[in-house]
Homo-oligomer: A and B are copies of this chain.
Amino acid sequence: MELKEARERIKILEKQETAYRHALGLLSYDGATQAPAGTAENRGETLAILSEAAYGITTGPEMTEVVATLLKHKDELDGTERRIAELKNKELTELQKIPVEEYVAYAKLLNEADAVWHKAKEENDYASFAPYIDRLVATQKRIASLVAPEKDPYDYQLDQYEEGLTREKCEAFFAALRKEIVPTVKKVVASKQVDDSINHKPFPIPTQEKLSDELMALMGIDRNHCTISTTEHPFTTEFTKYDVRITTHYHEESFLSSLFSVVHEGGHALYELNVADEFAYTCLGGGVSMSVHESQSRFYENIIGRSEAYAELLLPVLRRLFPEEVGGITAHELYLAANKSEPSLIRTEADELTYALHIMVRFEIEKKLFAGEVTSKDLPALWNALYKEYLGVDVPDDRRGVLQDSHWSGGLFGYFPSYALGSAYGAQILAVMEKDFDVFGAVRKGEITRINDWLREHIWRFGKLYKPGELMEKVFGAPFDPTYYTDYLKKKYASIYGFDA
């Protein structure tokens, strides 16, 4: 095959892959939003058949020949083409090392594990789910040994969600966080608590829905390419950069819950919507990694959304939509209510300060599981001990403990660290951004799109063109340094709770 032909063929193949991603994404989204309850099995059939067809394109002889041709002419490729060829080659090589039977058995195992986990959580029955943890870890270690025999299997997992991340890097990172966050949490606990009673008043859901639209407008989200709907757990999904869906969950007596969900998912959406058009139908379309994605969503949710400036921007909107509920609250009081911190049991409900501690519990457990130091039977006790140690809370049952997250049943070992890493990236992004303009001044004036412009210029438009660590270092103009994050947290919570940072 000539280079010219390979260049044309890769475009066609990637367009085909994009079409399957779109359909598969929509099928899943439909399952989570609108589909009637009895349709899961039928949808499973369709997902399996289309996934297999997509897999056939990704690993087939044509793709193999095209990628080989591109790599043979590596020196003639431009930067974008080279990155595409490398990513496709990585994917191809890895997938081709996994025997089809292993691949199919793993997909089946995941399906089963998910169903068992749902029931186990509902019934607080860890024992029924436990064997799946061992089977999943064993399968993933086996796959890692086939695909990357030179690597530590947990490093292989981490690299799936954050190219280049290792256990060692995580350990250093979490040690730095722990050292600063744990004492800060203790100071918060010992301080006078903030008043968040406004967040326990009933806010009518139809008006909360209107608020969501206003929040999305304030963020400059293009509604021509992004909808919002409701689900049990909020999420963002992008079929392509031209079709992004966010969801939220309304609680009548906790309006801040959906408010910050919308801002969080809105951050994910902005990232996807603003990848350069030229990457749309290629493997470079979309956010580069989970950490960078969380760095954007958590940046909007916490650094911007839970700032005093944002409370000032929001208050007139809330007063207009909820005149009675909001009453005479000041922007500062709203800011305090939005930042109430309290060690708790559930990760997804954790505040900004304690959040990373929840992640650390999971990281410690995953590390030990993959090192063979513990097995599923040790997990509840280990989980509860770590929650006591890191957060000082007693776990009353496994439903609110080791069974709470869906990640492990989905095989997502190595995924959790990206949440914490993304949060820390955000603080360092803020420091760089503030050199260019008055970020919170812009927020106060309602000019959030100035932030969007900056992030589009420095991060979003590049899609997956650079490795995530590489991209972050380009943004920072320096190595990643978690001190920005710990300093940010200490300063913020010292000011809110009135102690010395």
Interface residues of A (CB under 8 A from B): 15-16, 18-20, 22-23, 26-27, 30, 33-39, 41-43, 45-46, 49-50, 53, 222-227, 229, 239-240, 242-243, 245, 281
Q: A26-B26, A26-B30, A27-B26 are in contact. Are A19 and B45 (CB under 8 A)?
A: yes
Of the candidates A16, A45, A229, the one having the most CB atoms from chain B within 10 angstroms of its own CB is A45
In whole angstroms, what is the CA distance A306 to B239 when docked? 43
Shortest CB distance A185–B (Å): 41
Residue of B nearest to A38 (CB): B224
In whole angstroms, what is the CA distance A15 to B47 when docked? 12
A interface: dominant SS: helix
Residue of B nearest to A42 (CB): B242
- B19 in contact with A46 (CB, 8 Å): yes
Q: A242-B42, A243-B36 are in contact. Are A49 and B19 (CB under 8 A)?
A: yes
Residue of B nearest to A53 (CB): B53
User: Which B residues lie within 8 Å of A240 (CB)?
Assistant: 42
- A223 in contact with B26 (CB, 8 Å): no
Residue of B nearest to A243 (CB): B39
Shortest CB distance A397–B (Å): 31
> What copy number does this chain have within its complex?
2
- B35 in contact with A227 (CB, 8 Å): yes
Q: A49-B16, A50-B19 are in contact. Are A34 and B35 (CB under 8 A)?
A: no
- B229 in contact with A36 (CB, 8 Å): no
* A227 CB contact (under 8 Å) in B23, B36, B224: B36
- B38 in contact with A225 (CB, 8 Å): yes
User: Which B residues lie within 8 Å of A30 (CB)?
Assistant: 26, 30
- A242 in contact with B34 (CB, 8 Å): no
- A39 in contact with B229 (CB, 8 Å): no
In whole angstroms, what is the CA distance A30 to B229 when docked? 13
Residue of B nearest to A206 (CB): B206
Residue of B nearest to A57 (CB): B53
Q: List 16 A-B contacts (CB under 8 A).
A: A15-B45, A16-B49, A18-B46, A19-B50, A22-B27, A22-B42, A23-B23, A26-B30, A33-B34, A34-B34, A34-B227, A37-B223, A38-B222, A39-B242, A42-B239, A42-B240
User: Which B residues lie within 8 Å of A50 (CB)?
Assistant: 19-20, 23
- B19 in contact with A243 (CB, 8 Å): no
In whole angstroms, what is the CA distance A223 to B34 when docked? 12
In whole angstroms, what is the CA distance A229 to B19 when docked? 26
In whole angstroms, what is the CA distance A19 to B20 when docked? 12
In whole angstroms, what is the CA distance A43 to B19 when docked? 9
User: Which B residues lie within 8 Å of A35 (CB)?
Assistant: 227, 243
Residue of B nearest to A229 (CB): B34
The 6 closest A-B pairs by CB, nearest first: A38-B224, A19-B49, A42-B242, A23-B23, A19-B46, A39-B243
User: Which B residues lie within 8 Å of A19 (CB)?
Assistant: 45-46, 49-50
Of the candidates A26, A46, A243, A245, the one having the most CB atoms from chain B within 10 angstroms of its own CB is A46
Shortest CB distance A48–B (Å): 8
- B15 in contact with A49 (CB, 8 Å): yes
* A243 CB contact (under 8 Å) in B20, B26, B43, B243: B43
- B242 in contact with A38 (CB, 8 Å): yes
